[in-house]
Structure 1
Amino acid sequence: MAKRTQGSAGDVGLLIARATAGGLLAGHGAQKLFGLFGGYGIQGTAGWLESTGMKPGKFWAYVAGGSEFASGLSMALGFLTPIGAVSAFAPMLTAWNKVHMGKPVWGTEGGPEMPILYMTLATMVGLAGPGRYSVDQALDIDVPAWMVAATAAGVAAGVAYSISSKPPEPEEPSADEALAAQGTGTGDAQE
Structure 2
Amino acid sequence: MELGLLLLRLLLAALLIGHSTQKLFGWFGGTGTAQIFDTWGFTPGARMVVLAGALELAGAVSIAAGFLLPGGAAVVIGTMIVASVATAPNGFWAQRGGCEVPFCYGALALILTVTGPGPWSVDHALGLSTGLSGPLWGLIVLLVGSAAALPPLYRRRRVLKARAQSTAR
TM-score, with structure 2 as normaliser: 0.79
Structure that is richer in helix per residue: 2
One-letter code of the match for 1:124? I
Which of 153, 156, 161 matches 2:151? 161
Q: Name the residue aligned to 1:38.
A: 29
> What is the number of equivalent residue pairs in this alignment?
159
- Aligned to 2:29, what secondary structure does the other structure show? coil
**CA RMSD, 1 decimal:** 2.8
Q: Does 1:106 align with 2:106?
A: no
One-letter code of the match for 1:163? L
Which of 116, 120, 137 matches 2:107? 120
Q: Name the residue aligned to 1:85.
A: 73
Q: For each residue in 1:103-148, what CA deviation from the matched residue of structure 2 results, as whole angstroms up to 9, or x when unmatched?
A: 3321112221111211221111011110011122234346779xx9
% identical equivalent positions: 34
Contact 1:23 1:73 in 2 (8 A): no
Which of 54, 61, 68 matches 2:49? 61
Structure number, greater radius of gyration: 1
CA distance in 2, matches of 1:158, 1:102: 21
Q: How does 1:144-155 map to 2 (within 5 A)?
A: 155=145
CA displacement at 1:149 relative to structure 2? 9.3
Q: 1:151 to 1:58 in 2, by over 3 A?
A: farther
Which of 17, 27, 42 matches 2:8? 17
Q: 1:138 to 1:155 in 2, by over 3 A?
A: same
The runs of 5 or more residues in structure 2 that have no matched partner are none
The runs of 5 or more residues in structure 1 that have no matched partner are 1-9, 174-191
- Aligned to 1:115, what secondary structure does the other structure show? helix
Contact 1:26 1:69 in 2 (8 A): yes
CA displacement at 1:152 relative to structure 2? 6.4
One-letter code of the match for 2:26? G
CA displacement at 1:25 relative to structure 2? 0.8
CA displacement at 1:76 relative to structure 2? 1.6
Q: 1:35 to 1:156 in 2, by over 3 A?
A: same
